Amino acid sequence: MAKESGIGLTVTLDDSAGSGQAITNDVNDLNFSTPRASMDDTGLDKSGNERLQLLADFRATINGVFNDAANMSHAVLKTMSSTTVVRTLALAISGQTLSNEVNIDDYAMTRGADGSLKWSAPVSLANGAVPTWA
């Protein structure tokens, strides 16, 4: 496998009806992580920390530009405040896909002094399934 850039990454997010919508064109940047919790279980007989690995998690923040066309970012995200549905977020690059069932935690919009209208949508793991690349 060769080193690659993030060019070509696709972002698909379910709308409130559960239909995956490709919103990649509206996304400027995103960050995501698959952290694990840990518990300190260091005994008094140790000089260094001992830890047990605990639950897996997934978190992401997707940032983009306002687009209210059908099946694009605003149509997908605008219902997060009025519906409580778990959505599939799929991130795909170079034949690798990380799909997770997520809750959309916020849909924040910013109107810049320059007239730009951008949004940010943090998401978090919803169903307890371990994030796994396929």
- pLDDT tens for each residue of 74-125: 999 999 989 889 999 999 999 999 999 999 999 999 999 999 999 999 999 9
3-state secondary structure of 75: helix
In this predicted structure, what is the pLDDT of residue 58? Answer: 98
3-state secondary structure of 80: helix
Tokens of 94: 């170079």
For residue 20, what are the CA distances in angstroms to 24, 37, 75, 87, 89? 12, 30, 12, 9, 8
Domains of the chain: 10-38+51-125 (2.40.10)
In this predicted structure, what is the pLDDT of residue 60? Answer: 98
Q: Which amino acid is at 22?
A: A
Whole-structure pTM value: 0.90
